[in-house]
Amino acid sequence: MAVTVRFAPSPTGRIHAGNIRTALINWMFAHAKGGQLILRLDDTDAKRSTAAFTRGIEEDLTWLGIGWAKEVHQSDRFALYDSAVEKLKASGRLYPAYETPEELELKRKRQLARGRPPVYDRAALQLSTEERARLEAAGRKPHWRFLLEQRDVVWDDLVRGQQHVDAASLSDPVLVREDGTYLYTLPSVVDDIDLGITHVIRGEDHVANTAPQIQLFLALAAEPPAFGHHNLLVLADGQALSKRDRALSIEGLRKEGIEALAVASYAATTGTSDPVVPHESLEELAQSFDFGKLSRAPARFDPHELRLLNAKLLHMLPFSAVAMRLSAMGIGGGEAFWNAVRSNLAVLADAAIWWRVVNGPLEPVITDASICKQAVVLLPPEPWDEQTWERLAADVKQVTGAKGKALFQPLRLALTAREHGPELKHLLPLIGKARATARLQGKAA
């Protein structure tokens, strides 16, 4: 059987690193098995789902390099859900209940006060046809509950191992609201059947949904898929990541200048036994993926750690990986420039700072005019290479007697206007003799 998995976000906001963790785990598993990923947009909430958020999800996944074989929208699939409802009603597995939210809450409080679990008592099953008719005549509209078989439900979780839930301890889940709209469970199961999903891989916050869903698959005469529930990505304080926090959305991280591969490397490896290190491709990530590496504890999302990882990634990237992006930013200098500055970048946009240092115009900082004056006299003819700076520094030291910081700092400030940065042996050949002469003389160049 070909592996088919799905990533099923709701287009009610921009996705964040926690969502991407689920998308990546699904993609890596399918990729390793030669399978496919389906993108399913859970957009049945017409009030909150928007086309703009759908486009945003597509853009974020594309930016990260996560491809999908097929895209479906739940808002286009109501006929399938309607058909499943009729099938469940006909088999006696879907029944109408008329309690109001207030009545249900009162029942729950009474059960808790008596030390009993707040499980729905199935009172609606005892209503006669006449009682239902009276309730509906009084304006009550039913919600529809799935009748669970009160037995142990067992599955071999891809992450958590063998799991079992006594369905007798659960309330019959509501599948259809009073207004006829669907809750998550029914459309999700119907789609998984229709799309041939073989493995449902999702966050551990969905573990409680699994037993009712397995029964729903069987009630619809379908073989349940394999299930896997991975640990969640949470903030340092243990709080879940939220779509409301735009700074931690994929869109926000992209605007900050975080690299796609840094986000993917971090989201996929934090909370696993693998070291959190940058990877050069999603293919490389997929090759090392194993459910057995996932921790059972929540994975901590630390924005500072992600930024450090981003810098490490940039420091190891070859020029070929960034050449087109540098060109689009108006940055030249080729591979020599990239190799000179990459170890000083936190985000790629920082390269523009060092391109201005190399290409000008730059206002030099003169702290020791005598040393700079001697450097002008001692500048060798071009062409320059990485030994040029060492020869120049040695010559200036011999003439002036200056050494250490007293020698190097005035020259660095004059040539770059900065106290720290890439090694001057790499920068000086890029700056060139004309600009170096002008700057050592205190002129903007």
pLDDT digits (tens, 9 = 90+) for 301-323: 999 999 999 999 999 999 999 99
Contact in structure between 184 and 200 (CB atoms under 8 Å): no
Whether residue 156 is found in the same domain as residue 118: yes
* Residue 297 located in a structural domain: yes
CA distance 382 to 379: 9
Whether residue 308 is found in the same domain as residue 340: no
Q: Among 145, 176, 207, which residue terminates a domain?
A: 176
Residue 238 confidence (pLDDT)? 82
Whether residue 94 is found in the same domain as residue 160: yes
* Residue 274 located in a structural domain: yes
Contacts of 125 (CB under 8 A, 6+ apart): 95, 147
CA distance 264 to 63: 10
* Residue 347 located in a structural domain: yes
Contact in structure between 395 and 349 (CB atoms under 8 Å): no
Whether residue 312 is found in the same domain as residue 239: yes
Whether residue 339 is found in the same domain as residue 270: no
* Torsion angle of the four alpha carbons 55, 61, 67, 71, in this order, in degrees rounded to the nearest 10: -40
Q: Among 176, 195, 216, which residue terminates a domain?
A: 176
CA-wise closest residue to 423 among 408, 404, 410, 401: 408
Torsional sign, CA 54, 58, 64, 66: positive
Q: Among 176, 191, 219, which residue terminates a domain?
A: 176
Whether residue 264 is found in the same domain as residue 297: yes
- How far CA 96 is from CA of 103, 114, 132, 177, 190, in Å, comes to 15, 27, 9, 10, 20
* Residue 269 located in a structural domain: yes
Residue 303 confidence (pLDDT)? 92
Whether residue 259 is found in the same domain as residue 285: yes
pLDDT, mean of residues 231-238: 87
Whether residue 282 is found in the same domain as residue 305: yes
pLDDT band at 378 (very low <50, low <70, confident <90, very high): very high
Which residue reads 């990237």 in tokens?
Answer: 317
Whether residue 275 is found in the same domain as residue 306: yes
pLDDT digits (tens, 9 = 90+) for 413-429: 999 999 999 999 999 99
Residue 235 confidence (pLDDT)? 86
Whether residue 94 is found in the same domain as residue 158: yes
Lowest mean pLDDT among 5-9, 24-28, 45-49, 169-173: 45-49
Identity of the residue numbered 151: R
Identity of the residue numbered 388: T
* Residue 224 located in a structural domain: no
pLDDT band at 236 (very low <50, low <70, confident <90, very high): confident
Whether residue 24 is found in the same domain as residue 53: yes
* Residue 205 located in a structural domain: no
* Residue 248 located in a structural domain: yes
Q: What is the pTM of this model?
A: 0.90
Buried b (16+ CB within 10 A) or exposed e, 88-115: beeeebbbbbbbeeeebeebbeeeeeee
Contact in structure between 357 and 428 (CB atoms under 8 Å): no
Q: For the domain that residue 116 is a member of, what is the CATH number?
A: 3.90.800.10
* Residue 396 located in a structural domain: yes
| Structural domain count of the chain | 4
CA-wise closest residue to 124 among 89, 93, 97, 91: 97
Residue 398 confidence (pLDDT)? 96
Residue 240 confidence (pLDDT)? 77
Which range of residues forms the domain containing residue 351?
Answer: 321-359
Q: For the domain that residue 430 is a member of, what is the CATH number?
A: 1.10.10.350
Contact in structure between 84 and 220 (CB atoms under 8 Å): yes
Q: For the domain that residue 44 is a member of, what is the CATH number?
A: 3.40.50.620
Whether residue 334 is found in the same domain as residue 295: no
